[in-house]
Amino acid sequence: MRINHNIAALNTHRQLAFNNTNAGKSLEKLSSGLRINRAGDDAAGLAISEKMRGQISGLDMASRNAQDGISLIQTAEGALNETHSILQRMRELAVQASNGTNTSADRDEIQKEVNQLTSEINRIGNSTEFNKMKLLDGKLNSTAATSATATGKSIAGRVNIVDAASNGRVVGGEKAADSLSINEAQGGGVSGSITYTANGRNITEDNNELTLTVDGHQVTIALPVADRTGDPRGLFAADLANAINTALNGTGASVTVSFNTGNLQINSADANGTVKLDGGGFVDAHFGTQTEVAAQAAANTLDIEIDGVSRTITLDSGDLDLTDAADQTALINDIQAKLDTEFGTNRAQVSIVDGKLAIQSTATGFRSSANITGGSAAAQLGLTTSTAVAGADPNSQIDLVVDGEAISVSLTTGEKSLSVLASELEDAINSATATAKDVKVSIVDGKLSITSGTVGAEGTIQVKTGGLATTLGLGAGTVTGTDETNNDLQFQIGANTGQFMSVSLGDARANVLGISSDTAGKTLTVKDANGKEVQASFKAISEVTNGTDNSNVEYALDLSTSEKASAAIAVLDQASADVSGIRSKLGAYQNRLEHTINNLGTSSENLTAAESRIRDVDMAKEMMEFTKNNILTQAAQAMLAQANQQPQGVLQLLR
């Protein structure tokens, strides 16, 4: 027998400690109701259940977010309900004013109420709020990081898309000769020239020769040095013509010499001939009575107007053979370089087409044209002054590059509200792209915004040309996207990142609805219920406020005559339809959110059940464990007492 180590007692003690630990764990689970109270209870189960807890709390918060979204939508829709009622009342007044039994005074009283109702629509649009956010002033419309917006031109109200299908202007003319001289000083026409200035001294023997080329024949002539009596210009011209033609005798070429507005002009008798001054000249002359003749301005200028901008360009002097391709290129490059310097790169294009020199605007649209207005070199180049003509591209077309894909779209012509215009343009652009781009078109702060559906640097919108771009105030250029998504109103309706719902509330102010104008006396062509075009008008006096102060800032629909009141009915019908469209959209949002809330509730319930199965304790089963561990603990305590008594047997051996 051994007494230093009581192995039975040690074993019993260990078992007692184990039973105590298990009983404590069971007691903890039973008291908390949880199967997992610490990571050691179930490490994997804890990780899974914590993620589920995050999802459950996120789903519950998303449900509350959706409830808040419904509250916001109901606020906006309630305000629009009142806007609808006002529009119905305004239509009722327009119908009343259309009746021929009313006098001008009656219509004036009706007009006063219409003015106030229009101001109230502005007030509703400008002041309807939810949590300090304006809902109906257009600022919660969809915008995005990749967009091309109007550069400085507001298009609030209605836009008139005009079909102006004029031919593009090509300013050109037949070249007058195969050889062309752009001279620094000339008398006019397609010819070389010299300028004679009297200064009180005689022609000298050292300065009386002239070398020139006429129709390809070079001659040198000299005039006799002598005093003459009579008209100095006439005598000098006759002597010079006689001397030149004598030198040309037998060549088949001849010239005429005359003074034109004080300048000496030498012209070939052949309409297709050329005269080129090679050297020499008459510097001093004295023919009886002296008359000073001023030199003519340089014959190397062109006055050009491109897209409404006027400039004068100066060409390089020299001789060109237009039958030579290199000389043709040199002339085109010279003019093109001067145009690029004066007007900006790519504003106009110079070419030779079918033997004609052509200068054409590279832009298209209603305001695009190239126009020669004058210049001393115009006649030499065969260019004649002309009147600016609108471009070939109708105002209904716009050319774009969306995410690298070039497209061209056109809209039907006519007056359109901004909401209709944005919708039509969006549909047209998306239909024109070969692959789905999800381009969005919206009105932001009174300006048109075209937004690429591609987020990031790959998303680009480039407005190139087209009359519609000018009509809408879109500046040509490219905007590259960033990694932002958009800044429209977003409802977080899910537990995870990116699970949001975008909401665009629209602009319900009078100007956007088309029932007021920021231009006095503006007219608007609309179609009535029968499809007939009628012309509505706006007042010449500003009597509509923005609803938040007493400042008159807009012009109301004009009901001063039966015809104008009748046309106003069609405008009000369209405005009512626009408001109906916004309300229908809001109703769709609300219905979607209600279904979202139902789905979130179901998901939260199911996920909570799953989390409960992992984390909650089975009370009946745990009571069984607790009872077992409690009994084992008591038994271990009794056995430990017995084990401690066993060494007492050694004392019997010592007696």
User: Which amino acid is present at 554?
Assistant: E
Residue 321's pLDDT is: 60
Low-confidence ranges of the chain (pLDDT < 70): 1, 141-208, 223-233, 260-264, 271-272, 277-300, 307-308, 317-323, 353-357, 361-370, 375-397, 403-404, 409-421, 433-437, 443-448, 452-487
The Cα 170–Cα 391 span in angstroms is 10
Q: How far apart are CA 313 and CA 342, in angstroms?
A: 7
Residue 244's alpha-carbon distances to 256, 259, 494, in angstroms, are 9, 16, 97
Rounded distance, CA 213 to CA 443, Å? Answer: 67
| Judgement on whether residues 50 and 99 belong to the same structural domain of the protein | no
CA-CA distance, 260 to 379, in Å (whole number)?
A: 16
Query: What value does the CA radius of gyration of the chain take, rounded to a whole number of Å?
Result: 47
Claim to verify: residue 545 and residue 588 sit in the same structural domain: yes
In our burial notation (b when 16+ CB lie closer than 10 A, e otherwise), range 66-75 reads beebbebbeb
- Each residue's pLDDT tens digit, 71-97: 999 999 999 999 999 999 999 999 999
Residue 235 main-chain phi, psi, to 5 deg: -65, -45
Q: Are 581 and 595 found together in one domain? A: yes
For residues 619 and 543, state if they share a domain.
no
Q: What is the CATH number of the domain that holds 443?
A: 2.60.40
Q: Clarify whether residues 574 and 634 are in a common domain.
A: no
Euclidean distance between CA atoms 233 and 244, whole angstroms: 16
**For position 232, what pLDDT does the model report?**
65
- Out of 280, 315, 350, pick the residue that ends a domain: 280
Phi first, then psi: give them for residue 500, nearest 5 degrees: -125, 165
Residue type, 136: L
What are the helix and strand counts (H, E) for the chain?
Answer: 11, 31
Structural domain boundaries enclosing 157:
147-165+394-487
pLDDT tens-digit series, residues 140-193: 765 433 334 333 333 334 444 433 333 333 344 444 344 444 444 433 332 333
Is residue 217, in this structure, part of any structural domain at all? Answer: yes
Q: Could you tell me if residue 354 is inside a domain?
A: no
SS3 351: strand
Closest Cα partner for 65 from 499, 621, 436?
499
Bridge partners of 552, per DSSP, are 545
* Residue position matching structure tokens 């002339």: 331
Q: Among the three residues 487, 520, 552, which one is the final residue of a domain in this structure? A: 487
Q: Are residues 607 and 592 in the same domain?
A: no
What would the two tokens of residue 580 be? 């109906």
Residue 575 forms part of a structural domain: yes
Q: Indicate whether 47 belongs to any domain.
A: yes
Distance CA 17, CA 624 (A): 19
Instruction: Establish if 179 belongs to a structural domain.
Output: no
Rounded to 5 degrees, φ, ψ at 406 are -80, 130
Examine residue 353 and state whether it is found in any structural domain, yes or no: no
Distances (CA, A) of 596 to 53, 65, 77, 244: 20, 10, 19, 100
Same domain, yes or no: 189 and 253: yes
- The domain tally of the chain equals 4
Question: Are 117 and 128 found together in one domain?
Answer: yes
Mean pLDDT for all residues in the chain: 75
Final residue of a domain: which of 428, 454, 487? 487
* Angle, CA of 348, 354 and 359, to the nearest 5°: 15
Listing DSSP states for 564-632 in one string gives: HHHHHHHHHHHHHHHHHHHHHHHHHHHHHHHHHHHHHHHHHHHHHHHHHHHHB--HHHHHHHHHHHHHH
Give the model's pLDDT for residue 607. 94
Residues 474 and 550 reside in one and the same domain: no
- The type of residue at 122 is N
Contact 304, 359 (CB under 8 A): yes
Residues 203 and 267 in one domain: yes
Asked if 249 and 197 sit in the same domain, the reply is yes
Is the residue at 259 inside a domain? yes
Q: Is 390 helix (H, G, I), strand (E, B) or coil?
A: coil
- 594/607 same-domain check: no
Residue 316 lies in a domain: no
